[in-house]
Amino acid sequence: MTLQSDIEEKLVAAFAPERLFVINESHLHAGHHPDITGAGETHMRVRIVSERFTGMTRLARHRAITELLRPELDAGLHALAVEPAAPGEAVRW
């Protein structure tokens, strides 16, 4: 299994999203740190729409996702961009 698929599975289980995109953006960050070559899975973007975010602040949504993915961050995921929304909210994607 890949890190990307692991992240997708965890998000589905925790948030039952209506829409979910986990995008590997590692190739966009090659060379910005000596250990980051652009290969692998170091930079991920999560775009998620879930009913569970209704009534939550943007910060609370980010915290919920970050805490869920804390093991991945501790294990070497260098960057995680999060774009959460509740159903009916405008998204830029």
Residues 12-67 pLDDT 10s: 999 999 999 999 988 565 556 556 554 567 789 999 999 999 999 999 999 999 99
Q: How many residues does the structure list for the chain?
A: 93
C-alpha separations of 15 from 27, 33, 40, 56, 88 in Å: 28, 32, 26, 13, 16
Q: Which residue has the tokens 């093991």?
A: 71
Is 11 a residue whose pLDDT tops 70?
yes
What are the structural domains, with CATH classification, of the chain?
Answer: 3-85 (3.30.300.90)
Q: 93 vs 61, which has greater pLDDT? A: 61
Cα 1 to Cα 66: distance, rounded to the nearest angstrom: 21
Global confidence as pTM: 0.85
Q: What are phi and psi of 72, to 5 degrees?
A: -70, -40
